[in-house]
């Protein structure tokens, strides 16, 4: 009997793109179901994620798993090939720590800095830069957070690797640059240049148009 693997996601969501990237790294075939998370969530999404009612959801042989970092752990434990977590227990714990740091500290700070009115941007930008500085120290001069290959922390940082530079382009805000954070900036180039990663990223022009429309809405 063939495995049933489905991903309920949204094309522009870094969180559902994390799940797709992990599955692609593992070589797992899956069916992708696009959700309109802003206007019309499907009955299936509400059925499979009744608690948070949001993407991503991984459906594996009829069993739903929600929350992207939880899904990444499930993928790692279910499909053993091409591991995204290190073998050493301490290193695994550190990878989980930094993935959680990205979700709980970095992303909220960056999002707030990106979409705050210019007159109120100074403090959020300062906080976001502190997060990026901490994250750069965790990278420690390696090619990827996972060492020589993309791992769980790199996947969790996909927003910083791709979405952030587009937001900077649209808003004129500068958080991440080669001057401020040379190692982290170099990592973003390495990350988006990776062939498997490229296949898990939304189209640049479509995402730029989405962010421009968001800015226009806030100005209305």
What span, in angstroms and rounded, lies between the C-alpha atoms of 96 and 107? 16
For 89-219, CATH gives 1.20.1050.10
What is the chain written as a DSSP string? Answer: ----EEEEE-TT-HHHHHHHHHHHHHT---EEEE-BTTTB--HHHHHH-TTT--S-EEEETTEEEESHHHHHHHHHHH--SS-SS-SSHHHHHHHHHHHHHIIIIIHHHHHHHHHS-GGG-HHHHHHHHHHHHHHHHHHTT-SBTTBSS--HHHHHTHIIIIIHHHHHHHH---S--TTT-HHHHHHHHHHHHSHHHHTTS--HHHHHHHHHHHHHHHH-
pLDDT of residue 218: 65
Phi-psi region of 29 (alpha: psi -120 to 50; beta: other; left: phi over 0): beta
pLDDT of residue 219: 58
State the pTM of this model: 0.95
pLDDT of residue 145: 97
Q: What are phi and psi of 36, to 5 degrees?
A: -90, 90
- Going from the first residue of the chain to its last (220 residues), give the mean pLDDT of each consecutive group of 10, the final group possibly shorter: 90 97 97 92 94 96 97 97 96 98 97 86 94 97 95 98 95 93 97 95 96 76
Peptide bond into 56 cis (omega under 30): yes
Q: Where are the domains of the chain?
A: 5-78, 89-219
pLDDT of residue 115: 84
Q: 89-219: same fold as 5-78? A: no
pLDDT of residue 45: 96
User: What's the CATH class of domain 5-78?
Assistant: alpha beta
């Amino acid at each position: 009997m063939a495995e049933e693997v489905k991903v309920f996601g949204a094309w522009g969501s870094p969180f559902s793109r994390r799940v797709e990237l992990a599955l692609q790294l593992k070589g797992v075939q899956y069916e992708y179901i696009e959700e309109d998370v802003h206007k019309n969530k499907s009955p299936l999404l509400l059925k499979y994620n009744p608690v948070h009612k949001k993407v991503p959801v991984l459906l594996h042989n009829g069993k739903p798993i929600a929350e992207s970092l939880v899904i990444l752990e499930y993928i790692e434990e279910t499909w053993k090939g091409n591991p995204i977590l290190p073998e050493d227990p301490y290193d695994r714990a550190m990878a989980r720590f930094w993935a959680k740091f990205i979700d709980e500290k970095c992303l909220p700070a960056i999002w707030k800095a990106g979409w705050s009115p210019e007159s109120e941007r100074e403090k959020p930008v300062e906080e976001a830069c502190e997060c990026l500085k901490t994250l750069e120290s965790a990278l420690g001069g390696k090619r990827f957070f996972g060492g020589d290959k993309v791992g769980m922390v790199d996947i969790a940082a996909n927003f910083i690797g791709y979405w952030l530079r587009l937001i900077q382009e649209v808003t004129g805000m500068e958080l991440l640059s080669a001057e401020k954070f040379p190692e982290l900036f170099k990592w973003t180039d390495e990350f988006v240049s990776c062939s498997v990663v490229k296949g898990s990223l939304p189209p640049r022009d479509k995402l730029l148009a989405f962010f421009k429309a968001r800015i226009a809405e806030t100005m209305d």
